[in-house]
């Protein structure tokens, strides 16, 4: 556990020192959401109607900005081979790196979401559910994205291929996250959607590190 904690701290520090993952993700999130009022016009009714979908689609793409570097930097400097050969189980190593990716990318998006929801004129009942949905959805994006990152590590222009691999897997997360907020805004219960999101997160926690570890072993052979 000490080794896994050290790996998480190391990756978070590298993300903030080298790539500025949190800053890039939030800036992309901000710029993407800001473009919609400029594109569709300042009509508040229209902005409120599209606000939930815009926020989650923008967050989805923002979280993908640094996915291609999840394992690539370690692959390039040889650290990945050491991690594969270390006594730590590789699925737990993958889980630690996904946790670091979420802390450096997902958490800043969760913090920025209410501000951008205000910009998009989201109805007030949707704010708490938006935060809870983002809290459940963003870890799923990091975990699922790790599979694509593992499959494309070491491949030239793998960053172009990665979105094509993971975007279809993101669709269920997007559907239920948006559905939860829309249900709250319309006065319906968001609980079923949130429960499905929680189930998706539990399934991703169980399956994605194992699948990503298998992809990494294949890449290192």
Cβ contact 169:144 at 8 Å: yes
pLDDT number for residue 22:
66
Which has the higher per-residue pLDDT, 192 or 160? 192
Question: pTM for this structure?
Answer: 0.86
Residue % of the chain over a pLDDT of 90: 24
The dihedrals phi and psi of 34, each to the nearest 5 degrees, come to -65, -30
Nearest to 127 by CA among 60, 51, 58: 51
What average pLDDT does the segment 58-82 reach?
A: 80
Q: Confidence class of residue 47 from pLDDT cuts 50, 70 and 90?
A: confident
Q: Which two tokens stand for residue 123?
A: 């109805």
Mean pLDDT of the chain: 84
**What pLDDT, on the 0 to 100 scale, is given for residue 180?**
92
Distance CA(68)–CA(57), nearest Å, equals 18
Which pLDDT belongs to residue 3? Answer: 65
pLDDT in tens, 75-123: 777 777 777 777 778 888 889 888 888 888 888 899 988 988 888 888 8
| 193: confidence class by pLDDT, cuts 50, 70, 90 | very high
* pLDDT at residue 19 is higher than 80: no
């Amino acid at each position: 556990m000490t080794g896994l904690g050290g790996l998480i701290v190391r990756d978070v520090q590298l993300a903030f020192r080298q790539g500025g993952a949190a800053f890039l993700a939030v800036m992309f999130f901000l710029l993407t959401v800001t473009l919609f009022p400029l594109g569709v016009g300042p009509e508040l009714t229209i902005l409120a109607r599209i606000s939930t979908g815009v926020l989650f689609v923008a967050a989805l793409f923002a979280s993908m900005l640094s996915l291609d570097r999840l394992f690539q930097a370690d692959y390039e400097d040889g650290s990945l081979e050491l991690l594969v050969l270390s006594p730590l189980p590789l699925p737990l190593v993958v889980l630690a790196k996904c946790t670091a990716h979420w802390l450096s990318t997902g958490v800043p998006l969760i913090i920025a979401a209410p501000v951008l929801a205000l910009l998009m004129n989201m109805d007030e009942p949707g704010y708490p559910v938006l935060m809870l949905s983002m809290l459940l959805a963003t870890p799923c994006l990091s975990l699922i994205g790790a599979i694509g990152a593992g499959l494309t590590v070491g491949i030239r222009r793998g960053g172009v291929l990665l979105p094509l691999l993971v975007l279809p897997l993101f669709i269920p997360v997007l559907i239920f996250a948006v559905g939860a907020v829309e249900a709250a805004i319309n006065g319906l219960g968001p609980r079923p959607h949130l429960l499905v999101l929680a189930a998706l997160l539990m399934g991703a926690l169980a399956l994605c590190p194992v699948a990503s570890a298998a992809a990494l072993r294949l890449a290192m052979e």
